Structure 1
Amino acid sequence: MKNDLKERRADRGESQADLAAAVDVTRQTINAIERERYDPSLELAFALAEHFDCAIEDIFEPE
């Protein structure tokens, strides 16, 4: 699934570790999502959208 997580995170000046801590996952999980090697659970997608104050569809788009 395509996403712009890396760009959103960079715009806020957050590291992968910062974002991981904010949504209670590992840095490796954030890295895998950014590299489009892992699709997050619905729960994690909601947490990421809440963190960035947007809708899930603003971050993720199906291929």
Structure 2
Amino acid sequence: MRNTLPDLRRERGWSQQHLADRLGVSRQTVISLERGRFDPSLPLAFRIARVFERCIEEIFDDGDDQASAS
């Protein structure tokens, strides 16, 4: 799953550790999310969206273009 986490984090001048602390997860989790090696649980995706004041769909893209074609 692609995401804009690194860009959003950098726009705010936050380190990976700062974001991890705000989300209540480890820095390793943030690294894995940013690299697309780990998909967040739904509760974590909502926390991320709230932290960045964005919709989940603005942060994460599953690459399924069919959903937008309907």
Same fold (TM over 0.5): yes
Please give the alpha-carbon distance, in whole angstroms, between the structure 1 residues aligned to 2:53 and 2:38: 22
1:23-52 deviation line (CA, Å, top 9, x unaligned): 100000000000000000000000000000
Q: How many residues align?
A: 63
Aligned to 1:52: 52
Matches of 1:5 and 1:26 in 2, distance apart? Answer: 15
Structure 1: where are the runs of 5+ without partners? none
Larger radius of gyration: 2
| Whole-angstrom CA distance in 1 between matches of 2:43 and 2:17 | 19
Matched with 1:29 is: 29
Name the residue aligned to 1:18. 18
Question: Hey, what does 1:4 align to over in structure 2?
Answer: 4
Q: Which runs of 4+ in 1 moved over 3 A?
A: none
Once the two structures are aligned, what percentage of the paired residues are identical?
Answer: 48
CA deviations on 1:4-34 (whole Å, 9 max, x unpaired) are 1000000000000000000100000000000
Give, in whole Å, the separation in 1 of the partners of 2:47 and 2:6: 15
The amino acid of 1:59's aligned partner reads: I
Q: CA RMSD in A?
A: 0.4
Could you tell me the TM-score, scaled by structure 2's length?
0.88
